């Protein structure tokens, strides 16, 4: 049965795009099927409310091309976040680019207008369309950071065939934030009987705690708040066993 080896790269992005592109090659490990970097890895958000439009790139621009090159070099699929130029030149998309054995882009749907932030002032929201790809015999669905707080998106991805939810993030540090992150990652796994692979930027600005949770809610691996690279194996047999033990998806009435 299918298995998928994932690597979670918990590392901070800086304000210089050239340096961040170089980190893709420097940090991506060998031996993984899927390597996940955090949200906004092409260039950090900067100070809260900063204009990031000058750092927006097309989905085949320098950052995405380097993601694809490193994926090919490692024989893997890479996922990382960037700002993507769109119709509104002042408000780009917050986009994930997936390159390698699978190819997709996902524009963040839920912008972080919460906890005193106004991401929508500087970024445009993507259309609410689930993005799911087949990778190594698993359906892999894409979400970004604040999307984690919206269970209907996770369920929509699972209804579209996702068996693994991958969540790159830059989860801002603060009171309750690590607890919210850990609780929500486990909840999305338990309620959807799926794997969740959640990768954040590290402290002190962000919370870190990248983690993999299995379809029964067990934490497979978890980082602290500092830079780290984690690996984990996802097993399709465990997913099937979980959905037999807890057939909540089949038992739905709404």
Entry pTM: 0.97
pLDDT confidence band for 201 (50 / 70 / 90): very high
Known catalytic membership, residue 177? no
* Catalytic hit among 84, 108, 119, 222: 108
How many whole angstroms separate alpha carbon 209 and alpha carbon 167? 12
* Catalytic hit among 145, 163, 194, 222: 145
How many whole angstroms separate alpha carbon 8 and alpha carbon 249? 28
Q: What is the pLDDT of residue 1?
A: 64
Known catalytic membership, residue 108? yes
Task: Express each pLDDT in 219-238 by its tens digit.
Answer: 999 999 999 999 999 999 99
With the CA atoms of 30, 5, 63 and 44 taken in that order, what torsion angle do they form, in degrees rounded to the nearest 10?
-110
Task: Express each pLDDT in 76-125 by its tens digit.
Answer: 999 999 999 999 999 999 999 999 999 999 999 999 999 999 999 999 99
Task: Express each pLDDT in 152-197 by its tens digit.
Answer: 999 999 999 999 999 999 999 999 999 999 999 999 999 999 999 9
């Amino acid at each position: 049965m299918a298995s998928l080896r994932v690597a979670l790269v918990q590392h901070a992005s800086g304000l210089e795009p050239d340096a961040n592109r170089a980190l893709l090659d420097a940090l991506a490990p060998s031996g993984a099927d899927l390597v996940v970097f955090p949200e906004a890895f092409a260039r950090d958000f900067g100070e809260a409310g900063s204009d990031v439009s000058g750092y927006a790139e097309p989905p085949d621009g320098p950052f995405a091309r380097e993601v694809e090159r490193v994926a090919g070099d490692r024989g893997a699929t890479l996922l990382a976040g960037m700002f993507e130029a769109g119709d509104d030149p002042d408000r780009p998309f917050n986009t994930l680019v997936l390159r390698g054995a699978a190819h997709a882009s996902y524009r963040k749907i839920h912008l972080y207008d919460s906890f005193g932030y106004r991401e929508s002032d500087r970024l445009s929201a993507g259309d609410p369309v689930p993005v799911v790809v087949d990778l190594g015999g698993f359906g892999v669905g894409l979400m970004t950071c604040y999307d984690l707080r919206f269970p209907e998106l996770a369920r929509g991805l699972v209804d579209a065939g996702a068996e693994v939810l991958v969540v790159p993030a830059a989860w801002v540090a603060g009171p309750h934030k690590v607890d919210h992150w850990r609780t929500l990652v486990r909840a999305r796994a338990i309620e959807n009987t799926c794997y969740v692979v959640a990768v954040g930027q590290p402290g002190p600005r962000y919370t870190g705690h990248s983690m993999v949770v299995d379809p029964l809610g067990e934490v497979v691996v978890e980082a602290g708040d500092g830079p780290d690279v984690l690996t984990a194996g996802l097993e399709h047999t465990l997913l099937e066993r979980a959905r037999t033990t807890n057939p909540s998806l089949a038992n739905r009435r709404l």
